[in-house]
Amino acid sequence: MRRIHLVSLVLILILGLAIFAALKLDLLSLFRAAPEKPVKEEPAPEPEPEPEPDIRTATLTAVGDMFPHRPQIDGAHQGGGNYDFSTSFKYLKPHFQASDLTTLDLETNQAGADRGYSGFPAFNAPLQLSKDLKEAGVDLYICATNHIVDRSLSGLQATLKNVRKLGFITTGAYLSREERDTPVIVDLNGIKVAFISYTYGIEGSIPAGHEYAVNIAPGFEDISPVLSDIKSARKAGADLVAVYPHWGQMYLFEPTEKMRNDAKKFAAAGADMILCGHAHVLQPLDWIYTAEEDGSKRPTLVVYSMGNFFTNQQYLPPDIPTDMVEYGILLGLELSKDMNTGEAWVSDVDYKIHWCHRGWRHRILILSEVFEKGAAEYNLSAAQFDRLKAKYRENEKILERYGFSDNPPARIKENR
């Protein structure tokens, strides 16, 4: 009996060991810490997508000095009180109208028939001149010129009122102190461009208390008012600033050292374009580079003289010592702005040399078009045609004296 019990005990023991082995029971695991569950890593957030580029562009066209003499006024006279200047602008009209904005330097009054019409030395042309220019596509008059008060302060005031009624924007001459202190900023397809105009002096005088009427920097000896206006335009929200100095010595084909130094100061203050008048002949184009805080260099376009636009000037020594007064340029600019960053720049520059055909109702001709279509199309003799080719080369050499077209800023190189 005792033996049976012993055998039973052994069997139970063997069965228990078998169960234990089958379950692989680890008694020590009861005293071990439970293993940590692995941490599931969250995927990194997707980076914000770069905004789609939104580059806006606009075009700006500029021409030089306009001061019609008596032969132009008489040539436009249709009888009675009627005048027609439109013929003179026939070949420029497509270029003006294709541009978002066109400017020219106003060196004549538009003060009305009651003051009488005349050329040099006290310019006042029929208002039909501005009507025809507006219809041709001119938008903005640069008014700080030495002849702008040829018919006194009241003549200037009448001029401003008359041309504004026609839809012209004006800068450099004003009807009030408030106007003078408000920057002239034009929105061109979302690009805000400021226009600043100053003259070295005037032929007439401005009564005390009306000094605001014309932006004058006598001899440009003190340019601080110009610099202040550039900075004010920036503060007022201008993306780009165009400065129009009426300065320098007439009939010189190169700027003075002072003009070049002053242009650098205008650029450093924030000017993007410096488009000059008064020399009555063409002078070089150039780029000025201003070092920025981030180490980049900001380019500023300079045209030291755009030459004449609409005038009867010709070689008349000793007063006018050169026949180059018959020429000017049609300056074409493309402006760009990144609407995401707010950065704006001059993205392309082109110029076309023009000539005033005094023997054909003072039609202003684009010389590249003349050479392409031939002399007969433009009422020219073979001798005139050959002379124009020679003068074109002469003017081009002047414009490129500083290597303008060979050394454009990087952004302009990318566009070409």
Single out the residue of 168, 380, 407 nearest to residue 301, CA to CA: 407
In whole angstroms, what is the distance from residue 184 CA to residue 190 CA?
A: 15
State the Cα torsion 154-160-163-168 to the nearest 10°. 170
Cβ-count burial 215-227 (b if 16+ within 10 Å, e if not) = bbbeebeebeebb
Tell how strand 344-357 and strand 77-79 pair up: unpaired
In whole angstroms, what is the distance from residue 222 CA to residue 149 CA?
A: 22
Judged against a pLDDT cut of 50, whether residue 278 lies above it is answered with: yes
Per-residue pLDDT tens digits for 364-392? 999 999 999 999 999 999 999 999 999 99
**Strands annotated E in 67-153:** 77-79, 82-83, 101-106, 140-142
Considering only 39-53, 94-108, 351-365, which range has the smallest mean pLDDT?
Answer: 39-53
Q: Is 331 helix (H, G, I), strand (E, B) or coil?
A: strand
Judged against a pLDDT cut of 90, whether residue 414 lies above it is answered with: no
Q: What is the pLDDT of residue 4?
A: 44
Judged against a pLDDT cut of 80, whether residue 35 lies above it is answered with: no
Q: What is the pLDDT of residue 25?
A: 42
Judged against a pLDDT cut of 60, whether residue 134 lies above it is answered with: yes
Judged against a pLDDT cut of 60, whether residue 32 lies above it is answered with: no
Q: Is 255 helix (H, G, I), strand (E, B) or coil?
A: coil
Judged against a pLDDT cut of 60, whether residue 46 lies above it is answered with: yes
Single out the residue of 351, 264, 330 nearest to residue 300, CA to CA: 264
**Strands annotated E in 200-278:** 240-246, 273-275
CB 365 within 8 Å of CB 358: no
CB 56 within 8 Å of CB 337: yes
State CA 204 to chain mean position distance.
Answer: 30
Judged against a pLDDT cut of 70, whether residue 176 lies above it is answered with: yes
Name the band, by pLDDT with cuts 50, 70 and 90, for residue 27: very low
Cα Dmax for the chain: 157
In whole angstroms, what is the distance from residue 110 CA to residue 66 CA?
A: 12
Q: What is the pLDDT of residue 37?
A: 56
In whole angstroms, what is the distance from residue 43 CA to residue 290 CA?
A: 46
Residue type, 399: L
Instruction: Centre a 10 Å sphere on the Cβ of residue 349 and count the other Cβ atoms it contains.
Output: 19
Say how many residues make up the chain: 416
In whole angstroms, what is the distance from residue 102 CA to residue 274 CA?
A: 15
Per-residue pLDDT tens digits for 101-125? 999 999 999 999 999 999 999 999 9
> Average pLDDT, whole number, for the chain?
91
Per-residue pLDDT tens digits for 231-260? 999 999 999 999 999 999 999 999 999 999
Sign of the torsion formed by the C-alpha atoms of 96, 101, 103 and 108: positive
Instruction: Name the one residue in this structure whose structure tokens are 């410096």.
Output: 274
Query: How wide is the angle at C-alpha 306 spanned by C-alphas 101 and 62, nearest 5°?
Result: 5
DSSP secondary structure code for residue 409 in this structure = -
Q: What is the pLDDT of residue 411?
A: 83
82-108 average pLDDT score: 98
Please, what are the domains in the chain? Answer: 55-415 (3.60.21)
Q: What is the pLDDT of residue 42?
A: 65
Q: Which helix (DSSP H) or strand (DSSP E) does residue 158 occupy?
A: helix 152-165
Considering only 12-16, 170-174, 225-229, 243-247, which range has the smallest mean pLDDT?
Answer: 12-16
Judged against a pLDDT cut of 50, whether residue 163 lies above it is answered with: yes
Single out the residue of 129, 74, 134 nearest to residue 107, CA to CA: 129
Q: Is-cis flag, bond preceding 68, omega within 30?
A: no
CB 345 within 8 Å of CB 413: no
DSSP secondary structure code for residue 306 in this structure = B
Judged against a pLDDT cut of 50, whether residue 212 lies above it is answered with: yes
| pLDDT above 90: percentage of residues in the chain | 84
Judged against a pLDDT cut of 50, whether residue 28 lies above it is answered with: no
- Which class for 277: exposed (0-12), middle (13-18), buried (19 or more C-beta within 10 A)? buried
Residue type, 94: P
Q: Is 116 helix (H, G, I), strand (E, B) or coil?
A: coil
Single out the residue of 105, 149, 147, 148 nearest to residue 331, CA to CA: 105
